[in-house]
Structure 1
Amino acid sequence: MAIATTMRPLVSLALPEKGVTRLATQLFLAIVGTLLLTVSAKTKVVLGPVDISMQTLAVLLIAAAFGLRLGVATLLLYMAEGAMGFPVFQGTPEKGLGIAYMLGSTGGYLAGFVVMAAIVGWAADRGWDRNPVKLLGAMLVAEVIMMAMGFAWLAQLIGPEKAWQFGVMPFVVGDLIKVALAASLVPAVWSLLPKRG
């Protein structure tokens, strides 16, 4: 008996089955996703080298709702917009634009967001987005990896002690709350939808 390894993520309910319309819908969703990421990045509390924003929550929700392919594509489109100089990141334009900004203090976190989207999107494609415990586990793994990437990058710029003090510790509680919220919201949406055969 074969076991299915993929299920359809939440956004698949809104996608046409095939063709140009499906591609156009996916492109539209990716653009909307980058707008959500931009707004979430600009919703921030200034703390120092790296500020607290709602962006982690946005990345988790996009990845869980979009799945691996569309989730990662959305994050890569967002990174491309930033690399081209659009002020989509948290500290833009006041702290620079484009590649120069991306190589600054938040560079590791930005790369970590793509990895985070891949992990959570992979889990969603396997139906973990319907189970809050499984989704929480995937999101915690994604969070730890994203923070580790951000810490490693920041440590190269300001040293490990300051990177831990300013780039990790202030975010632990807030990010855990965001992970718990995202891991609850997506399964809750699934539970409200009519059961499909």
Structure 2
Amino acid sequence: MTLADTPGTAAVPAPPRRRNVATDLALIATFAALIAVCSIIPGISLGPAPLTLQTFAVILAGAVLGANRGLLAVLLYLAVGAAGLPVFSGGTAGLAPFAGPTVGYLVAFPLAAWLTGFIVERLPRQRIATSIPLVFLAGLVANLVFIHTLGPLGLAWRADMTVGAAFVFDLAFWPGDLVKTLLVALVATAVHRAFPGLLPERRRANPASAAATAAPTAPATPTTAE
């Protein structure tokens, strides 16, 4: 007889599946490389901040990997560029881009990936692979909250522009980012259909405490004096 078959006890749920650290590291490195490739592909020059595929790869990292791994993928990309590899827009490298007009966008990238993943992780799991509008909305919110806020503020700080002029300049990026965010939703939903266990599992209550709470208390057996 097992514990689950014993009267007065509740079955203890299986512990959550542990993730493979090596797989997580490989995914983080892969998406960091993807961001680098999308950054160095020649873009459209719009002045101090060129139009590239960076935001597509950044938002995709969060939508596919989730909040924490998406954040780490972007941070790894930034660290590699800061260390001297020419992976930033236009093939630049080092610390100079962090003191240039695009510093606001660079700072916003890991935060945007994290927020996208945070939202996607909380969508109904059975709908993540099918609901393109929900994933699109997650990427759109991340763009609005971080990229198109911190980006213009960085321009105003380092490009000798007023705040108002910087936000007006940033409007030129919105059409392209809307298209890229739609592509993110299409690609991310396809990936989650193929790999439904890719996102981290949501945290649940402690199984032991939950079982203790659910288990009925056995009535005390009366004793008789002899």
Is the TM-score greater than 0.5?
Answer: yes
Residue correspondence of structure 1 range 4-83 to structure 2 within 5 A: 17-18=18-19, 22-43=20-41, 44-83=43-82
In structure 2, the partner of 1:90 is 89
Aligned match for 1:181, one of 177, 180, 183? 183
In structure 2, the partner of 1:153 is 154
In structure 1, the partner of 2:136 is 136
Q: CA deviation at 1:161?
A: 4.4
In the superposition, relative to structure 1, how do residues 29 and 193 fare at CA in structure 2: closer, same or farther (>3 Å)?
Answer: closer
In the alignment, the residues of structure 2 paired with residue 27 and residue 194 of structure 1 have an alpha-carbon distance, to the nearest angstrom, of 19
Residue correspondence of structure 1 range 156-171 to structure 2 within 5 A: 156-157=157-158, 158-159=160-161, 160-166=163-169, 168-171=170-173
Letter in 2 for 1:139: G
In structure 2, the partner of 1:108 is 104
**Uncovered stretches (5+) of structure 2, i.e. residues with no partner:** 1-16, 198-226
CA contact (8 A) 2:101 2:157 kept: no
In the alignment, the residues of structure 2 paired with residue 62 and residue 163 of structure 1 have an alpha-carbon distance, to the nearest angstrom, of 27
Q: CA deviation at 1:176?
A: 0.7
In structure 1, the partner of 2:13 is none
**Uncovered stretches (5+) of structure 1, i.e. residues with no partner:** 1-15
In the alignment, the residues of structure 2 paired with residue 42 and residue 27 of structure 1 have an alpha-carbon distance, to the nearest angstrom, of 23
What SS does the aligned partner of 1:45 have?
Answer: coil
In the alignment, the residues of structure 1 paired with residue 69 and residue 31 of structure 2 have an alpha-carbon distance, to the nearest angstrom, of 10
In the superposition, relative to structure 1, how do residues 165 and 65 fare at CA in structure 2: closer, same or farther (>3 Å)?
Answer: same
What SS does the aligned partner of 1:46 have?
Answer: coil
Letter in 1 for 2:148: M
Q: Aligned pairs, how many?
A: 174
How high is the TM-score relative to the length of structure 2?
A: 0.69
Q: Which has the higher helix share?
A: 1
Which sits farther off after the overlay, 180-189 or 135-144?
Answer: 180-189
Larger radius of gyration: 2
What SS does the aligned partner of 2:95 have?
Answer: helix
Letter in 2 for 1:151: P
How high is the TM-score relative to the length of structure 1?
A: 0.79
| Runs of 4 or more above 3 Å deviation | 127-130, 188-195
What SS does the aligned partner of 2:117 have?
Answer: helix
